[in-house]
A and B are shown apart, each in its own frame.
Chain A
Amino acid sequence: MTLLAYLLLSGLTTGALYALIALGIVVVNKATGVINFAHGELFMFSGFFAWMLHVQMGVPYLPALLLAVAFGFMLGVLIDLTAFRPLKNSDVISLVLATIGIAFMLRGTARVLWGGKSDYLPFPPITSPEPVMIGELMVIPQQLLVLAGAIVIMLVFAAFFRLTRAGKMMQATADNAKASTLVGIRVDRIYMLSFGTGAAIAAAAAVLMAPLTLLYPDMGFSFFIKGFAAAVLGGLTSLPGAVVGGVAIGVIEALAGGYLHSSFIEVSAFIVIMFVLIARPTGLFGPSGLRRV
């Protein structure tokens, strides 16, 4: 029983991270209809940036977190300006490949700036590494912090979308860009805001996660693919779906890793993706697609 509880908690924690990444992907996709394949690299790069601030420059954790989130936001805006805007009317292939190109530029830059292929940078934990006992469960405080932090961030963004004007404008644009233009919403600005927000969420996730694992330039893609799987599972345009999807994948991974074999951790996300896409391509909460001719 304890193993199960432990695995669930572990899965919940990583799941919360995947949920945040998925959220960032869905925010951008909902508004612009585009999947930003550089999303994982945004996550990675912001993480390294926070590392640089906190570890190399001695900036305290919380300010480093906020600066990294702001930095992430700007990276997102940069992607909007360099890749999305010039290609807004092109086909899917072009947009996907362009964001992939940017992903590689970011990855290469991180590698050049902060480490070669096998350098893994440690990020000091915020809380003491001493595990505490909750009931029968041995828990590392950092995990709880991640979970709590993720929940806080999700609530903040939920509030942002529901309560602020900008958030509502983003929803409107996502629903109907043309109509939004007609009521005076500056759709271009909203796209930029969406890219920035999506990236900011990724940055927050990175800084939350950094103390738990090591940073390395190739991590972007593996988190992206899991976030993407979570987003697809939840239906690419559903924000709550992204959260559910993320948690589901985190838990599935933990259970597979614990009960089957550790090597299954890597691959469960892919198996999930393949099954979901074949059985119900629009995900759990997505719309059922009808093609109009």
Chain B
Amino acid sequence: MSKNTLYDRVWDNHKVVTLPTGQDQLFIGRHFIHEVTSPQAFATLKERNTKVRYPNRTFATIDHIVPTDEFQRPFQDQQAETMIQTLEVNVKEHGIQFFNKVTGKQGIVHVIGPELGLTQPGMTIACGDSHTSSHGAMGSLAFGIGTTQVGHVLETQTLAMSRLKVKRINFNGALSQGVYPKDVILKIIQQLGVKGGIGYAYEYGGDVFDTMSMEGRLTVCNMSIEGGARIGYVNPDQITVDYLRGREFVPKGSDFDKRSIEWQALASGPDAVYDDEVTFNAGDLSPMITWGITPAQSVGVLETVPNLAELPDHDRSVAEEAYDYMKLTPGMPITDVNVDVVFIGSCTNSRIEDLQEAAAILEGKQVAKRVRALVVPGSQQVQKEAEATGLDQIFIAAGVEWRAAGCSMCLAMNPDKLIGDEVCASTSNRNFIGRQGSPTGRTLLMSPAMAAAAAIKGKVTDVRELL
């Protein structure tokens, strides 16, 4: 059992009691809600004739269903309009702060939490969304929950949870040019598998994380769940503190300084005990791309996709399914794969640094003729900053569509979808069958810079050739 880790400290600070089931009742300090997984929870509250216990601990936004090319109400999609209206009624009735479009702070829930400073070290954070693991980048315990549990948080501000084991993941050395946090997490998932994290919280550390920006850490923690880990986190340090200083919802002045010392004291110390530990070296890491239907099915850009015979028995049947679906040939170089669509966005890679990385590649270049490319900022604030610094003009000049904030083509609950069996170079987090809105659509996951390179060349391309 782990000891003296950030996980243990934060858990203990929020533990209410041990329940008769053997689980712990855990207090949830921050709760984020959005339009997809909350309406049924509010309906249950109503049925139970009860109210939100701590409305000031829940914050709402709208992200999954918003159109990204126009925002005219009512939405053309009647279902989407019903969803936003339902959320509007619920937040009003229960006195919950709602970051809708008019606030200028709307965006993907996992982008706005950190950017507003709502996400802070040492918190417990829950949201009806599996990518809530993102918020662990700040040194919080953050995890996705289902709608019944959203109801539990609304009604009691607590959850019945089992304590996870803690696996320390060290990434040592330095990332070479053209290699990004997205490549780090794709490598980790490739090595530990999509179920390697079941029952674990991942603690990320080592040289690479010690120098990684908050935005990079958010990308890595975001995809913890793709490796099966419900929670992923990085210990808070000076980079965390510098990122948070001055943000809207953090304490001000000397209160902030005091708090920042307390935050850093939560970090796993030299006396930390882990349930498991694994170490990777950054030196030989190259840009990574998924070729299959799970985020673990990935290769380095200079590699060929695997031959079935090379794979361990337990990976072969999913690989066969993947080749059948992706229409790729085992043993082919990944750079032989042509792309039809490029999507730069999602809670994984839609923050300002992601857009800067993509813009650096696209500046002065043109998107290949038959490629449809879109860049979707993660929030209105990211959009504003990108426009203030001219990134939007770089994208537009390159022939990329510049959109408004939302989840967009990551899961296509809005008009942004793949058509037929289009291949999409995507900076999102899931390459599942049908994920991007077409039951036969094909997804290749990669970093924003790699997606930009694919946009220019019309095929999977080693971005290092363009640097």
Query: Do these two chains really belong together in a complex?
Result: no
| Residues of A near any B CB (own CB < 8 A) | none
| Residues of B near any A CB (own CB < 8 A) | none
